[in-house]
Amino acid sequence: MPKFQAKKKIFKQDKFKSNGKGSGPAKKNPAFMHKKNKLNKSIQRNNKNSQNHQVNGKKNFKKFNKNDAPANNKFQKKSQDDFEDNLSNGEFQELQKSTAQAQNKKQQIQKQQQSTKKPQELKSGNNKQKGLKKQNQNDDIQLGGDDLSDNVDIDMSGEEDQEYSDIDIDQSSQGGSEKDINSEQNEDDDNDEEIEDSHNESQEGNEDESEFDEENDENFKSEVIDKLQDKDFEDQEEADEEEESELQEEENEIGHIEQEQNIDEVKDASKSQNQANTVEEKEVINRTHLAKYWSVVLSQPSIYTGGRILISPNEEFMASIANFRIIITDIATRQIINQITHEEEELCNFAIHPSNKFMATFTRNNILRFINLETKETIHSWRINDQWALDIVFDTTGQFMAIGCVDGFIKVYDVKKGNLTHNYKVHRGSVTKLLFHPTPNKLHLISVGEDYAIRIYDLVISTVLKSIVAHTQMVTQIIFSEDGTNLLSASSDQKIIVWDYTNMTKQAEVLFDEQVEAMGYLKIKAKQNKKNIVQSYLVATGSSGILKLIDITSNDIKIIPFENLKTHEIIKIMTLPKKEQICAVTVEQNVIFYSFVEGPSLIESDIIVGFNDEVTDAKFCKKQKKDNQVFEKEKEYVVISTNSSIMKAVELGTGKTHFIKGHSDFVLTLDTFGPYIISAGKDKTVKLWKKADNSFEFKLLATFIGHVEAISSVCFGPKTGKIFATGSEDQNIKIWDSSNLMARSHKIQKPENVTSSKRTVSAHTKDINVVKFSPNEKLLASSSQDRQIKIWDTETLSCKMILKGHKRGVWDVNFSPVEKLLASASGDSTVKVWNLEDGQCVNTFEGHMGSVLKCQWVCYGLEIISAGADGLIKIWNTKKQTCLNTLNKHQGKIWALDISAYDQNGKQFMLTGGNDSNFFMWEDVTKEEELKKKEEEHEVLIQQDNFKQLIRNQDYINAVKLAFRFNFVSKFHQALELMFHKKDFKNEIIYSENEIKQIKKNNEEEDEFEKNIRELVTNLIELDINKLLIYIRDLNTMQKSSKVAQRLLNYVIRSIPIDDYQEISKKFKVPKKPSKKEQEEQTKIPSDSEKSEFEQLLQVIISYSKRHAERMERFIKKSYYLDFVLKKIDLLSIQDEENNNKEHNKSEATNKA
């Protein structure tokens, strides 16, 4: 029995060292066998040569003595010198013979083992065989080289493998059965005894020593000690070291080959264990980093927040007002191509010039400008005193511009000359609409006011041609037909009147069933009786949001409504004659393009989202495979819900937006499963949608009715999707069955109503914020404003656990994908991790400045991403309990957070949205950022070496440039100090009189060194004046570097013209203009926060420069005292000398006498 235990222990050690988890069947690698045979031959050749060289005895002594460490360290140190002096050739030859006999005996044992083993035993006890082979291999190596155990051992038991419970490596090959081990034990008892002895020796510090070494070690040491003689082996030692290094290289190669074999075996075993989870296993294996860095790859910025919006005359771009700026958007790509701002002024109106190159703008401080769109330069500007421009228009030629003001004035300007040409005041009240006649020869201007009157002006003769009052309410819009023969007016009195412009008589009158808010006139090409014709259509709409098509050319005027295109209230209609399209602007700031088709009819062709309002939820949607059962883990589009009854589906490839209409009130929450979408909101209903296979059409399958308050959360079962849960403000949780509807989704023609849920429970005492299924759908977690988290059994909806610990309402919960953990986000600014086995809180993450609204697991449970009311997204390492990164792209509460699965390229994406009306899609760029950092660090090291070389060569100017370019602040100071020191040293050299005369002659020419410094400063200013001034500020704050800073500042001031300082100040950030309340609360003296960065920077430089000047003044004053003392000392020395001279003279006189 002890022998069996010894064998088993050795087997486990070898198995652990090979791969850490067990391995599959061994595979013979030809390269490995070739290396092994080559190594054995070199060992045999070395043994033969050792018989003729005494040094081999010393080497073998070292091997065995080394293997006995640490128990034999004293013996090794004591006998080493004696052995080098006392061993003789004959005695060593006898020693070699005994070792050769032992080696032959060992080889016979190996052959006997190989011949007696059966195939079944080889298969079941593969790891044991591998351990014995490794021991035999090490025995061979020990005779001619170092031990290979360090090279062959492989440790694959890393942290990641230990953390994922979903990866199951094949354990069938971790050890042979007891029957196989016993049969092998009976086959060779001698071998078992040797293995047992070897294991006992390995516990003392020599785990890989062979049977031969164990049996002969003590005899060998005693023989060596008895035969020690004096010899000199210095030259032979060098040869031995060379041979040992060659053998070590071969051993390393064998170790690498065996390591590759072990890795392949582990991979094969893991694949054969569970083929159903191969995709997830690949994801775990491919994940080699934590998702620390994220970059925005898709966003929908606000381009229209209300006010004026226009299509350019060439129909290529759209201009709109957003947050008091003019945003110019390319219609084809839906990308922002330009922005117009006037410093701190708020833009409120504009008009596009017919040439598409100029624009007229009007700001809130009553300044009218005519600007160039490309250069953004103001060509002309006019101040309109106390008059607000409600409308701005250009004539067809683009020479004249007219504005209609609040006080009833109409002003006309010549934009080429920049002067006012006409000024009318005819209307009572504000002028709401202006329109020039489309014919260039006619300078006619039409105006509409609050007095319901339509007036026509002839600008050539400066008179009012006609004034008409035909409507009984406000005129909402006036338009011309393309040829200018007809004028159309629409009003809130539900009438559209067609006027004959030649005599301004009524040609037709269209009665609407609602107030007319907007209309457009368009001619399109059509076919009638196989002939090409041109038809004119009028498109109008009201508060209902239904577009209505009117053929005003026929005698029988018919109104064709398009109820299938119903949307929110339309406030403006624009026409695109070249593209035969109309553009409708809704009250929700969405721009919808419609195209004409045969019929005639209208279809929705494109949507540009101007403003998202508050984003309440957002989810990724996956592609559907052909089998209609499994969904690829790839992003295809995202679904977004805002403060609207319409959801938006955004294609990720093109950015195109599609509407999903069906709810009657705001949508608060949604979830996706393949092509299916569930949504719920304030209308107290849940709707189930399905996307068409080849288009972005969403069919409503059913409406689920049961809750009596707004529904705050919905969640699909993540495993099958056949059930979904809802949580409501009525404090109830319901589980619904959607499997039947999904199975017959292709047969459903009309939406069905479902009123009975599968299970219902009264869950909390306050509003429910979220419900979430576990990955296997067996558990359901819910959280509420009552500060509690409850875990429910999905089948019975019985409460299994209540988690308490948050101090405020819990906004979100999420199950870990790999462990029995739950993450929760709360209004107490914390994220907690709960152990679902005992209900204890295991981690608490603090860092948000407000409520934490969302949390998600990332990287298979290694990270948690949280989003809060402070607009911050934080990434937490769950193992180290640290915050890895903080993303601050949002400016308000973040209500939406979703993480995509890994795609085929190993990429992961994140979706966020909040009440700042922005949603962003982020991409995990951790690998790229880490690689970029390594490259930057490598580049920094290279440039630091280059800097040192420039300093050695005394090329200080290029050293300063290099340090400035790569932000080496200390090296920048060092190079400047050396450069100025060189200049000072040059000036301090003492010259002869002739040299001084020559210098005076050359004083008129600028010193070359001084010229180089000036060029250097000019170059630094051109590179980055902002950074240069910041460097000067930082260096000036320290006494040690203030001298360099002052001299550099002197050169900078003399190098910049006075007129350029204004342009430099514009490069720095300017604080936001305070509101009226803040202006009233301000004191007369402006605070530092109100100053620009440029002013604050100069203020710091000036204040420290004054301190340095005062310090120099004090130093100079103190130096006067030193001069005074030295002069006094000189006077005393002179007096002493005079006294000495007098005494000397007296003594001489006395001597002479």
* HEC letters along 492-510: CCCEEEEEECCCCEEEEEE
Q: Please tell me the pTM assigned to this model.
A: 0.67
Last residue of some domain: 249, 283, 317? 283
857: three-class secondary structure by DSSP:
strand
Q: What does the pLDDT look like over 815-835, one tens digit per residue? A: 999 889 999 999 999 999 999
pLDDT per position as a tens digit, 887-902 = 999 999 999 999 988 8
Same domain, 755 and 780: yes
The answer to whether position 52 is within a domain reads yes
Binned at pLDDT 50, 70 and 90, residue 771 comes out as very high
Asked if the structure places residue 275 within a domain, the reply is yes
The answer to whether position 75 is within a domain reads: yes
Residue 506's contacts (CB-CB under 8 Å, 6 or more residues apart) are 470, 497, 498, 499, 500
Residue 821 lies in a domain: yes
What tokens appear for 1000 in the block?
Answer: 């005076």
From the list 975, 945, 983, the residue with the least C-alpha distance to 957 is 975
Q: Is 1101 left (phi over 0), alpha (psi -120 to 50) or beta?
A: alpha
Q: Tell me which residue of 41, 40, 19, 215 sits closest to 130, measured CA to CA.
A: 19
Q: Does 27 share its domain with 158? A: yes
Any idea which residue has 């084809």 for tokens?
A: 332
Last residue of a domain, one of 1073, 1107, 1128: 1073
Do β-strands 788-793 and 779-784 pair in parallel, antiparallel, or remain unpaired?
Answer: antiparallel
Find the mean pLDDT for residues 672-684: 94
pLDDT of residue 179: 37
Strands 698-705 and 752-754: parallel
Same domain, 894 and 841: yes
Taking 90 as the threshold, does the pLDDT of residue 904 lie above it?
A: no
143 and 246 fall within a common domain:
yes
* 441 in a structural domain: no
Residue 511, SS3?
Answer: strand
Poorest-confidence range of 181-190, 333-342, 1019-1028?
Answer: 181-190
Do residues 788 and 749 both lie within one domain? yes
Beta bridge partners of 953: none
**342 contacts 350 by C-beta, under 8 angstroms:** no
Enclosing H/E stretch for 1136: helix 1093-1152
> Under a CB-based contact definition with an 8 Å cutoff, are residues 916 and 897 in contact?
no
Domain membership flag for residue 1111: no
**What DSSP character marks residue 901?**
P
Task: Tell me the pLDDT tens digit for each residue of 148-187.
Answer: 233 333 333 333 333 333 333 333 333 333 334 334 444 4
The residue type found at 228 is L
CB atoms within 10 A of CB 644: 23
Mean pLDDT, range 422-434, rounded to an integer: 91
Residues of the chain above pLDDT 70, percent: 68
The pLDDT assigned to 1065 comes to: 66
* Domain that residue 270 falls in: 2-283
pLDDT for 1069 beyond 60: no
Q: What is the dihedral of CA 1136, 1141, 1147, 1153, to 10 degrees?
A: -150
Cβ burial, residue 141 (10 Å; 0-12/13-18/19+): buried
Q: Which amino acid type is present at position 798? A: S
Cα dist. 130→2, 3, 24, 136 in Å? 21, 18, 11, 10
pLDDT at 472 exceeding the cut of 80:
yes
Q: Under 8 Å CB-to-CB from 243, ≥6 apart: which residues?
A: 46, 144
Pairing, β 768-773 against β 788-793: unpaired
Q: What is the pLDDT of residue 514?
A: 87
Q: What is the pLDDT of residue 676?
A: 94
Give me the pLDDT at residue 106, please: 62
Percent of the chain with pLDDT over 90: 38
| Packing angle of the helix pair 234-273, 55-67 (nearest 10 deg) | 40
Three-class SS state of 980:
helix
Per DSSP, the three-state class of 978 is: helix
| Separation of alpha carbons 765 and 144, rounded Å | 80
Among 908, 924, 940, the domain-final residue is 924
787 and 825 both lie in a single domain: no
Q: Output the pLDDT for position 887.
A: 94
Domain containing 676 — which CATH number?
2.130.10.10
Instruction: Give the list of residues 6+ apart from residue 577 with CB closer than 8 angstroms, or none.
Output: 315, 482, 522, 523
Quote the tokens at residue 310.
């226009």
> Measured between alpha carbons, how far is 950 from 956 in angstroms, rounded to an integer?
7
Q: Do 948 and 1025 lie in a common domain?
A: yes
Residues 903 and 798 in one domain: no
List residues bridging with 73 in a β-sheet: none
d(CA 361, CA 381): 9
Q: Are 140 and 40 in contact (CB under 8 A)?
A: yes
1065/1024 same-domain check? yes
Band the pLDDT of 116: cuts 50, 70, 90: very low
The neighbour count for residue 227, using CB atoms within 10 Å, is 17
454 burial type by CB count under 10 A (0-12 exposed, 13-18 middle, 19+ buried):
buried
The four Cα atoms 740, 744, 750, 753 give a dihedral, to 10 degrees, of 0
Check whether residue 36 and residue 74 sit in a common domain: yes
The reply to whether 127 and 235 lie within a common domain is yes
Q: What is the DSSP letter of 147?
A: -
Cβ–Cβ < 8 Å for 127, 20: no
Q: How many domains does the chain have?
A: 4
Q: How far is residue 897 from each of residues 18, 292, 295, measured CA to CA in Å?
A: 44, 16, 15
Q: What angle do CA 565, 570, 571 make, to 5 degrees?
A: 165
> Tell me: the pLDDT tens digits for 297-331?
988 888 999 899 999 999 999 999 998 899 999 99
Give the residues across from 369 on adjacent strands: 361, 381
Lowest mean pLDDT among 275-284, 345-354, 615-624: 275-284
Q: Of 361, 366, 354, 343, nearest to 307 (Cα)?
A: 361
Q: What residue type is 591 in one-letter code?
A: V
Q: Please check whether residues 978 and 937 belong to one and the same domain.
A: yes
What are the φ and ψ backbone dihedral angles of 350, each rounded to 5 degrees? -165, 170
Residue-wise over 592-620: b if at least 16 C-beta within 10 A, else e?
bbbbbeeeeebebebbbbbbbbbbbbbbb
Place of tokens 């005492």: 765
Provide the pLDDT for residue 1062.
66
As a whole number, mean pLDDT of residues 1116-1124 equals 82
Of the candidates 609, 549, 15, the one whose C-alpha atom is nearest the C-alpha of residue 266 is 15
Calpha distance 855→910 (Å, rounded)? 12
Q: What is the pLDDT of residues 31-67, one digit of tens each?
A: 545 555 655 555 555 555 544 444 444 434 333 343 3
